[in-house]
Structure 1
Amino acid sequence: MRKAFTLIELLVVIAIIAILAAILFPVFAQAKAAAKKTACMSNLKQINLGFQMYLGDSDDTFVPWTTNACNTETPINGGGSFDTGYLYNNRIAPYIKNGVDPATGKLSGVWECPSIKSSTSAITNNYAYNYYSLGGTHNCPQINAGPLNASFAPFNDTQYTKPANATTLGRPAEIYVIADGPQLMRPPAYIDSAGTGAIQNVGVWGSHQIGTGVVAPSAAAGANVTRLPFHTGRKSNVGYADGHVKSITTMNMVSNKVIMENGAWRGALLGGGTPEGNPGWARDWQ
């Protein structure tokens, strides 16, 4: 006659199952996060390739961040300089043929990073263009035609008012073109001159290895946090001016004035308003 399991034996089996679950579940979660990060990287590679193809058809000149900076064009989906029909996304769309609907403003497909798309709207893409350096700060001959003021150095140079020519870049393999973020991203000089620590205006997200998740900015940062949430991930995917993409430490991209999470995560702003103080952002840093 076969004996039944004793209570002790059953408890041992349950304990073993619990231990295995505790070991395996985090592994499964990490594998899922890694798969999303890879998908985001693949998207970014396609987008950056679109930029490179645009350069080839445009005398090596980068796409303007908008072709409606003066708000003078016929509205497509709401009008203004942020009308998707005139933004850089739509300008490089013919080379990617994925994810841009200029009529509605909706961005999908390649413009969605699986890691963070659930926290953004359909018209807020998950990748941001380094427009201060490459896309022209103004692009409008009638309004604000001059350069930025001196506090935004080195981006106050007149060369930055118009899109960059790829042949003039000092270190194309180290200059950011596109990265995890909302539509447009700004260099350390921006937040340094603004002096508010307004993290929702930086446009740089840590989309991977996220800590506690979305955090609110400091009290002085304004109320626009729901539209452009900020993540606290340690890693961001970045596409560079020579065409390659890679994952880097997010805090290296932003100003030391930007407090990320409980004051514990800060970027670096060495050199202040100089090209060297904005590595990866400025056209001519040496």
Structure 2
Amino acid sequence: MMFTESHNTSNGSHGFTLVELLVSIAIIAIIGAILIPVVGHIRNKVDNTTCTSNLRQLGQALTMFSQEHNGQLPLSMQADPTNPEIKVSWQILMMRQLEVPFAKHGDTGVFICPSHRHTYPMEAYRTYAINLTGGSPISNAPRLMTLSDPSTTAILAETKHEANGAGYVSLSGNVNGWGGKHRLEARHDEMMSMFMADGHVESMAVDDERVEEYLVNIRK
């Protein structure tokens, strides 16, 4: 008599049961809930670091410009040194000083805070303003070399969206007026950044009581 060996067709593997599938989905959801805020926090930190670097580069360029122009900072708009019949902004002058191209919508670069996407309705090409508080934006330029307290004097600050992707080009006039501190923008976890005349970058809330002093000191 011949006996045939019986074989189990099962190899020990099986598919996910419904319970196992639901547990796996729940675990993935929990991991995602943990990681997404962490990734967002890291991204914000990187953006903040880039913004600080931008302000330092622009601030140093403005300092060099003032040294070459009798201590004066550039204005919101002034005669082009290469062609006095044309008016140019401080941004154009700094573009030349740093030898970088003029920023366009969607670009990244020294004139654009990467966190602008949190507060601007469109792609930006300028997110920083020069501080000309207490005077006209097109005349009577402040003198950087004669400031009484550079460490508490803002030269550049982050600004709100104005039009067509441009942030306000300057802060000018009365600090509480139309061209004053209301143009400032906080886009780093409710904080904004300013480049100070002594070379450091200060981070603070827009409603910080020191803001007015830091702005008006540009004329002292």
Residue 131 (structure 2) pairs with residue 169 (structure 1): no
In the alignment, what sits opposite 2:128?
127
Q: Is contact 1:279–1:285 with CA below 8 Å preserved after alignment?
A: no
Judged with a 3 Å threshold, the aligned counterparts in structure 2 of structure 1 residues 108 and 22 are, in CA distance, closer, same or farther, namely: closer
Judged with a 3 Å threshold, the aligned counterparts in structure 2 of structure 1 residues 59 and 12 are, in CA distance, closer, same or farther, namely: same
Q: Secondary structure at the match of 2:192?
A: strand
In the alignment, what sits opposite 1:44?
55
Instruction: Give the Cα separation in 2 of the matches to 1:277 and 1:27.
Output: 31
Give the unaligned 5+ runs of structure 2: 1-10, 160-166
In the TM superposition, what are the counterparts of 1:1-286 in structure 2 within 5 Å?
2=12, 4=14, 5-67=16-78, 74=85, 86-100=88-102, 109-116=109-116, 119-120=121-122, 125-133=126-134, 136-137=135-136, 139=138, 162-181=140-159, 182=167, 183-186=169-172, 189-191=175-177, 202-209=182-189, 234-252=190-208, 268=209, 278-283=212-217
Aligned-pair identity (%): 24
Q: Secondary structure at the match of 1:279?
A: helix
Judged with a 3 Å threshold, the aligned counterparts in structure 2 of structure 1 residues 168 and 3 are, in CA distance, closer, same or farther, namely: same
Judged with a 3 Å threshold, the aligned counterparts in structure 2 of structure 1 residues 128 and 3 are, in CA distance, closer, same or farther, namely: same
More strand by share: 2
Tell me the amino acid that sits aligned with residue 42 of structure 2. Answer: A
Instruction: Give the Cα separation in 1 of the matches to 2:126 and 2:138.
Output: 22
TM-score, normalised via structure 1 length: 0.57
Tell me the amino acid that sits aligned with residue 187 of structure 2. Answer: S
Q: Is contact 1:43–1:110 with CA below 8 Å preserved after alignment?
A: yes
User: 1:130: Cα distance to partner?
Assistant: 0.8
- 1:233-281 per-position Cα deviation (integer Å, ceiling 9, x unaligned): x1112111112223222222xxxxxxxxxxxxxxx4xxxxxxx993101
Q: Is contact 2:73–2:143 with CA below 8 Å preserved after alignment?
A: yes
Tell me the amino acid that sits aligned with residue 242 of structure 1. Answer: D
In the alignment, what sits opposite 2:3?
none
Instruction: Give the Cα separation in 2 of the matches to 1:284 and 1:13.
Output: 60
Q: Is contact 2:78–2:138 with CA below 8 Å preserved after alignment?
A: yes
User: 1:98: Cα distance to partner?
Assistant: 1.5
User: 1:139: Cα distance to partner?
Assistant: 4.7
- Of the two structures, which has the highest relative contact order with CA contacts closer than 8 Å and spacing of 6 or more? 2
Instruction: Give the Cα separation in 1 of the matches to 2:21 and 2:32.
Output: 17
Instruction: Give the Cα separation in 2 of the matches to 1:277 and 1:41.
Output: 18
Judged with a 3 Å threshold, the aligned counterparts in structure 2 of structure 1 residues 175 and 204 are, in CA distance, closer, same or farther, namely: same
Q: Secondary structure at the match of 2:193?
A: strand
Structure 1 residue ranges, 4+ long, deviating more than 4 angstroms after superposition: none
Q: Secondary structure at the match of 2:204?
A: strand
Tell me the amino acid that sits aligned with residue 150 of structure 2. Answer: P
Q: Is contact 1:173–1:240 with CA below 8 Å preserved after alignment?
A: yes
Judged with a 3 Å threshold, the aligned counterparts in structure 2 of structure 1 residues 24 and 100 are, in CA distance, closer, same or farther, namely: same
Instruction: Give the Cα separation in 2 of the matches to 1:115 and 1:277.
Output: 21
How many residue pairs align between the two structures?
194
Instruction: Give the Cα separation in 2 of the matches to 1:237 and 1:2.
Output: 62
Give the unaligned 5+ runs of structure 1: 76-84, 141-161, 210-233, 253-267, 269-275
Instruction: Give the Cα separation in 2 of the matches to 1:242 and 1:188.
Output: 23
User: 1:177: Cα distance to partner?
Assistant: 0.6
Q: Is contact 2:108–2:114 with CA below 8 Å preserved after alignment?
A: no
Larger-Rg structure: 2
User: 1:91: Cα distance to partner?
Assistant: 2.4
Judged with a 3 Å threshold, the aligned counterparts in structure 2 of structure 1 residues 283 and 109 are, in CA distance, closer, same or farther, namely: same
